[in-house]
Copies of this chain bind each other. A is one copy, B any other.
């Protein structure tokens, strides 16, 4: 067992091994960090509020498609990290970024990279407060973001039966974009650009996030969809025993042009929508009554409802399918 390669068990199991060991060492009443373990970000209790903190590392060959320029890389490291903060219903506050850069990078490229970082910080109203620069053959950007939340901590284990399931925006764009960049395409240049932008320049639903903080009773849980809708539903299911999730296929929001991309590339549209990720939209479970009060302000897509079946199902016009909660996992052999 111990001589197995780590790629035989994969990222998920590796994290479990680490956290199991960590938990054995933990003093049970370590209140500073007790609620922090398995959500999008960790919580540090202050006197009257919580500091929310999360980290994400991006490595060129895995996370930056060849077509991504330094400006977009800089944007992405900020977006990925702030995404975890708004997924905790917290107000983004600051970011630290450690970089490893190749020596032959030009100053012009460095300038673009740092513009991408700082312009995104400005857009999200956060400050870059720290970092580190190293040398490496390819670009690595490791961010740590912080946020603040006063009291209504939005953990992922509070889902109730009968909650609505909502997403903040269109799904499937990044999956289709990858096929457009690397595989076949024959769709108009303008539609193409719009799809590719979802992969190379992802945006966060900041306005929605602000509204959700204003009305903390609306959501019973929030997470981002970085690993794909199916995987994220799987995580929520793990944390909420006896809760089932039914998703209405015809309510899933997407850019109609990705249907063509799927067709040309012999892909299943469902895979784009459910099994890819890199989305940076928010997935929420929602108290229906509270939602109705502020529906007009929210601009949400309601895609399903929770039940007590303990299953994750996809309701199509003429069938009900169980959604497999598979998705991409780092360090896992196929």
- Interface residues, chain A, CB within 8 Å of chain B? 1-7, 9, 11, 14-15, 17-18, 21-22, 25-26, 30, 32-33, 36-37, 41-42, 44, 46-49, 51, 53-57, 59, 62, 93-94, 96-101, 103-108, 110-111, 114-115, 117-118, 121-122, 127-136, 140, 142, 144, 146, 330-331, 333
Q: Are B44 and A111 in contact (CB-based, < 8 A)? A: no
Q: Give A31 to B87 CA distance when docked, in angstroms.
A: 25
Q: Are A44 and B135 in contact (CB-based, < 8 A)? A: no
Nearest B residue (CB) for A11 = B133
Residues of B within 8 A of A30 (CB): 127
A–B pairs, 21, beta carbons within 8 Å: A2-B111, A4-B107, A5-B103, A6-B101, A7-B103, A11-B133, A17-B110, A18-B118, A32-B93, A33-B127, A41-B130, A47-B48, A47-B49, A53-B94, A53-B144, A55-B96, A55-B130, A59-B136, A96-B144, A134-B331, A135-B331
Copies in the complex: 2
Q: Are A2 and B135 in contact (CB-based, < 8 A)? A: no
Known contacts A6-B105, A108-B2; decide if A130 and B42 are in contact (CB<8 Å): yes
Which one, B100, B106, B118, contacts A4 given CB within 8 A?
B106
Shortest A96–chain B CB gap in Å is: 4
Q: Are B110 and A6 in contact (CB-based, < 8 A)? A: yes
Q: Among A5, A17, A111, A135, find the residue whose CB has the most chain B CB atoms closer than 10 A.
A: A135
Known contacts A6-B103, A17-B114, A110-B17; decide if A57 and B96 are in contact (CB<8 Å): no
Q: Among A118, A130, A140, find the residue whose CB has the most chain B CB atoms closer than 10 A.
A: A130
Known contacts A104-B7, A131-B55; decide if A22 and B118 are in contact (CB<8 Å): yes
Q: Are B129 and A36 in contact (CB-based, < 8 A)? A: yes
Q: Are B6 and A62 in contact (CB-based, < 8 A)? A: no
Q: Give A259 to B22 CA distance when docked, in angstroms.
A: 42
Q: Give A330 to B1 CA distance when docked, in angstroms.
A: 39
Known: A5-B105, A53-B96. 17 other contacts (CB 8 A): A3-B106, A5-B106, A11-B134, A14-B110, A15-B131, A17-B114, A21-B114, A22-B127, A22-B128, A25-B121, A37-B129, A42-B130, A44-B93, A46-B49, A46-B51, A47-B47, A55-B130
Q: Give A132 to B56 CA distance when docked, in angstroms.
A: 6
Residues of B within 8 A of A127 (CB): 22, 26, 30, 32-33
Nearest B residue (CB) for A108 = B2
Q: Are A42 and B110 in contact (CB-based, < 8 A)? A: no
Q: Are A21 and B108 in contact (CB-based, < 8 A)? A: no
Nearest B residue (CB) for A14 = B133
Q: Among A97, A106, A118, A142, find the residue whose CB has the most chain B CB atoms closer than 10 A.
A: A142
Shortest A61–chain B CB gap in Å is: 8
Residues of B within 8 A of A101 (CB): 6, 14, 331
Q: Are B93 and A53 in contact (CB-based, < 8 A)? A: no
Residues of B within 8 A of A99 (CB): 57
Nearest B residue (CB) for A80 = B132
Shortest A70–chain B CB gap in Å is: 11
